[in-house]
Structure 1
Amino acid sequence: MRSGRRVIGTVATLVAALTLLASCTSEGDDGKSSGPFEKKAPAAKLVFAPEIGAVDVPPTTPVKITVADGELTEAAVANPEGAPLTGQLAEDKKSWTSAEVLGYGKAYTYTVKAKNSEGRVTEKTGAFNTLAPAATPRATINPGDGATVGVGMPVSVKFPEGGPEDKAAVEKALVVETSQPVEGSWAWISDNQVDWRPKEYWPANTQVTVNAKLYGLAYGGGAYGKSDLSTQFSIGRNQVVKINTPDHVMNVYRDGQLFAAYPSSNGDDNDPNLNTPNGTVIVMAKDPVGDFSNPRYGYTNVMKKWAVRISNHGEFIHENNDNAANIGKKNSSHGCVNLLEADAKAYFDSALIGDPVEVTGSRANYPTTSDVFDWLIPWGQWQSMSALN
């Protein structure tokens, strides 16, 4: 009798064990038993930058979608018109990154799908909004693409009146690259203009590239850059004009050697208001015929040939055969450099915008109140005019 009870107890124990084992199993997606310790793969997890719901996103922010525990099967970002933002899916399909900048004041929509290792799909949609600036000032850059300029030519970036508040941020966005080493610096010559010039004249035949990454840049006061700027230009041969006013001659140097000497009549020595002022300026413009009428001094309809502007203060190098009796002998002009017609034509043909003109010997100095006065500023002072110093 005792032996029978032991058999019954053993059978009961076996039934309990089988029942426990059965309770630890589960049905898989295909309805089959998956075993006592097997788990489902985690769902693919999506991460968005900018985040869904983000507002006031800077338009230069890269858009990036990443996935963990899976791979992307669809990644699209659309602008308000439904046009897709261009981008690149990584080879491992773990991320998608935009390849173009965003627009101002726009809503962009995500449509994304990813699957995990078992093929289970995760879908997500959403949107973010870029900032809407109070203003987008348009800047300009000079020299322009393809120009060949003289060795004194500065690079100028100009903004609308008022200029950017955050001048340091603007400077950091400006890059000058040269085909040979050139030491130089940016300087704010006004609230709305920043110039770059070398410490010394440019080396002849230098190739220059300037990039201004201004789009999306915060200028301050709610203003942001309207667009990027760039230019590629060349420095020409080294030509420098040197005028010592009492000598009544204009000397032209090429690569440091005297190239031409032209008799001249410069500004009246006796009146500082009529002097051709001391200082280094540059050739700013050339006109085969210039209008030199000046009612203040009683003459109108005065047209002179081969006019080369060297300042906005009023000085030119030009033909004046009407003053031939004084050319080479006496300074009698109202500040311009008068040459005989043949000499004026020869110089006109040789000059490039940006060629330096160095004037000495006068009683007056050039004022730093009108373009272009970059070379009138000593180098140390020029460097101090950078917003980064």
Structure 2
Amino acid sequence: MTQLHRRRGPLALFGLGLAAVLTLSACSGDGSGSAATGGAGTSADAQQTSAQPAKLTVQPADGAKDVAPSDAAQVTVANGELQTVTLTNPDGKQVAGQLAADKRSWAATEDLGYGKKYTWSGTALGADGKQITIAGSFTTVSPRKQLTASLNVGDNQTYGIAMPIALTFSSKVTDKAAVERALTVETAPHTEGSWAWVSDTSVHWRPKEYWQPNTQVKVAANLYGLKIGDGTYGKQDVTASFSIGRSQIVKGDVKSHHMQVIRDGVQIADYPASYGLDSDPGRVTHSGIHVVMSKHPTYSMSNPRYDYFDVNVPWAVRISNNGEFIHGLASSVWAQGKQNVSHGCVNLSPARAKEYYDGALIGDPVEITGSTQTLSAKDGDYSDWTYSWADWTKLSALAS
């Protein structure tokens, strides 16, 4: 028994050594072994994963109806690139578009029409080397009604530091939030401001504080193709670029019977004036921030309540829609600087009225103090400054 045990010991050790040699040979093979083959299989799986077919997203999708022309018309591709994209109108004309530099997206760059059928065509090449076709069609909406809009500001014009931007619609706006999202105001330097709906047909933008002098402003109402209400869409875009001029503030004190003009922080005039008769609430000049709305070399004034008609006055500057002007009136020179006798207007001598008229800009603020009546929102289109900033921002359709 002892001898048998001694003879088997070396054989067992030899077997273990042979197994170790075979194992090392397999691990250090020349690439033809199973381990090397397994590594090549992993690489092939990764390559197969990256070589996916192109995946298209087309907007509007094939068969879409009542598409708003303002909706994006675009094609995007994943796992590949776009080769050609064409969007054609019913007349066979191609819609202008732009292919992105990485060839992964295409977007229309011109407005679509109302009530038209558009057709997609083109190709995309997938990462797998296979080409796929872009196809389909959609139809834009035929509006029940189209709204027009107009701005109170014009290109290349210069306005005063209290000038509001007013956008007025041809009829009632139902979806005010949609409209407000389509409005932009760009300013240099940056100016904090807000849109506010002053009625169902008018939305205004004003700065939090008076404009900084020489501010450059661009306003855009991107309304074409926009759904404004049930079956109602915008008819056209409206834009304007304008400037804010020098700072000029008129300060009128009904108790002192004077009117000062402050330009760029310096008082340039102090005019004797006569304001509205204090004892009659219907004739008092309202306290508050007025805004110059228009200028007229002569203006015919009538007020049946006080029995005067077609009274022509020189150098009339409208400062509200409730009948308040700054104008010349020779017949009240005796009271100017001493007594308030007008029917709500600020009376100056004709010569002083002309001097003021020549230097005034639409949008200049006119700050009246000391009267028994206060200007309010019902006093006209440019009563934006009668609101506190907190109250003004609450009138935005996007206010949270």
Bin of the TM-score, shorter chain as denominator length: 0.7 to 0.9
Pair 1:232-2:227 in alignment? no
Q: Quick one: which amino acid aligns to residue 191 of structure 1? A: D
2:278 to 269, 275, 279: 269
1:17 match: none
Q: Structure 1: any 5+ residue segments left out of the alignment? A: 1-40
Pair 1:151-2:161 in alignment? yes
1:314 to 323, 327, 342: 323
Give secondary structure in 1 for the equivalent of 2:93. coil
Contact map agreement 1:185 1:196 (CA 8 A) in 2 = yes
Q: Quick one: which amino acid aligns to residue 122 of structure 2? A: V
Q: Distance in 1 between matches of 2:91 and 2:84?
A: 20
User: Cα deviation per residue 1:99-126 (whole Å; 9 max; x = unaligned)?
Assistant: 2231121101234356789999866654
Pair 1:337-2:346 in alignment? yes
Once the two structures are TM-superposed, the CA of residue 251 in structure 1 deviates from its matched residue by 0.8
Output aligned runs, 1:53-132, within 5 Å.
Answer: 53-65=63-75, 74-89=84-99, 96-112=106-122, 126-132=136-142
Pair 1:371-2:381 in alignment? yes
Contact map agreement 2:254 2:370 (CA 8 A) in 1 = yes
Q: Quick one: which amino acid aligns to residue 148 of structure 2? A: R
Once the two structures are TM-superposed, the CA of residue 353 in structure 1 deviates from its matched residue by 0.3
TM-score (norm 1): 0.81
Q: Quick one: which amino acid aligns to residue 185 of structure 2? A: V
Aligned in 2, Cα 1:70/1:204: closer, same or farther, shift over 3 Å? closer
Once the two structures are TM-superposed, the CA of residue 93 in structure 1 deviates from its matched residue by 5.9
Output aligned runs, 1:184-333, within 5 Å.
Answer: 184-333=193-342
Q: Quick one: which amino acid aligns to residue 107 of structure 2? A: T
1:386 match: 396
Q: Quick one: which amino acid aligns to residue 176 of structure 1? A: V
Pair 1:355-2:355 in alignment? no
TM-score (norm 2): 0.79
Give secondary structure in 2 for the equivalent of 1:51. coil
Contact map agreement 2:316 2:357 (CA 8 A) in 1 = yes
Contact map agreement 2:55 2:79 (CA 8 A) in 1 = yes
Q: Quick one: which amino acid aligns to residue 128 of structure 1? A: F
1:179 match: 188
Give secondary structure in 1 for the equivalent of 2:392. helix
Once the two structures are TM-superposed, the CA of residue 92 in structure 1 deviates from its matched residue by 6.7
Q: Quick one: which amino acid aligns to residue 261 of structure 1? A: D
1:24 match: none
Q: Distance in 1 between matches of 2:52 and 2:132?
A: 11
2:24 match: none
Give secondary structure in 2 for the equivalent of 1:292. strand
Contact map agreement 1:61 1:101 (CA 8 A) in 2 = no
Q: Structure 2: any 5+ residue segments left out of the alignment? A: 1-50
Q: CA RMSD in A?
A: 2.7
Quick check: 357-366 or 90-99, which moved more? 90-99
Q: Distance in 1 between matches of 2:123 and 2:169?
A: 45
Quick check: 339-348 or 82-91, which moved more? 82-91
Aligned in 2, Cα 1:129/1:304: closer, same or farther, shift over 3 Å? same
Contact map agreement 2:68 2:227 (CA 8 A) in 1 = no
Contact map agreement 1:109 1:128 (CA 8 A) in 2 = yes
Once the two structures are TM-superposed, the CA of residue 143 in structure 1 deviates from its matched residue by 1.4
Contact map agreement 2:274 2:348 (CA 8 A) in 1 = yes
Quick check: 61-70 or 48-57, which moved more? 61-70
Once the two structures are TM-superposed, the CA of residue 202 in structure 1 deviates from its matched residue by 0.9
Contact map agreement 1:273 1:364 (CA 8 A) in 2 = no
Once the two structures are TM-superposed, the CA of residue 160 in structure 1 deviates from its matched residue by 2.1
Give secondary structure in 1 for the equivalent of 2:196. strand
Aligned length: 348
Q: Distance in 2 between matches of 1:298 and 1:339?
A: 22
Aligned in 2, Cα 1:64/1:376: closer, same or farther, shift over 3 Å? closer
Contact map agreement 1:62 1:101 (CA 8 A) in 2 = no
Q: Percent identity?
A: 50
Aligned in 2, Cα 1:328/1:44: closer, same or farther, shift over 3 Å? closer
The structure richer in helix per residue is 2
1:32 match: none
Aligned in 2, Cα 1:259/1:222: closer, same or farther, shift over 3 Å? same
Once the two structures are TM-superposed, the CA of residue 270 in structure 1 deviates from its matched residue by 1.1
Aligned in 2, Cα 1:70/1:193: closer, same or farther, shift over 3 Å? closer
Contact map agreement 2:147 2:171 (CA 8 A) in 1 = no
